[in-house]
Structure 1
Amino acid sequence: MAFLDKVKNWVSKNPDKAGSAIEKAGDLFDQKTQGRYSDKVNKAQSAARNYVDKNTPPGQGPINPPQPPRQP
């Protein structure tokens, strides 16, 4: 099983943890780059949340609701 297949499988089984990881990773990247890429990070976080929501099995509900963009 390829790495991405393992990630997809984990995400589908743990949407709440995936949502938390998406937020933490984006926040860490913003911190390390001093907010220079915050607009791109926000887009990537939104796309990742949409992917998780779309691939969450029925009955588990969506992950964290979208957050308003952070101000640098």
Structure 2
Amino acid sequence: MSMFDKIKSMLSGHEDTVRQGVDKAGDAFDDKTQGKYSGQVDSAQQKINEQLGSQAPPTSEESQPPQS
């Protein structure tokens, strides 16, 4: 069993909580870097959500275009 499989089994049943944590961490990183790496952060968040299984529907924040 790979390390990722062990982590995935530990998180089983807590996907929503993990997604919230990933989103919160990404938002905090975007705030610290003033959005400089927002594309990379969004990509990483998407890949993590894909690995967790079925993706949660986008929130109203995600469906709105970025504001300058």
Which residue number corresponds to residue 56 of structure 1? none
For residues 1-56 of structure 1, what are the alpha-carbon distances to aligned partners after superposition, in whole Å with 9 as ceiling and x for unaligned?
x9755532232221110111111111011011110000000000000111111xxx
Which is further off, 10-19 or 25-34? 10-19
Note the residue ranges of structure 2 that are not aligned, 5 or more in a row: none
Structure 1: any 5+ residue segments left out of the alignment?
54-61
- Per the normalisation by structure 1, the TM-score is 0.66
**Paired residues, number:** 64
Aligned to 2:56: 64
- 4+ aligned runs moved over 3 Å, structure 1: 2-7, 66-70
Higher relative contact order (CA 8 A, sep 6+): 1
Aligned counterparts of 1:46 and 1:17: Cα–Cα separation in 2? 15
How many Å separate the matches in 2 of 1:50 and 1:29? Answer: 20
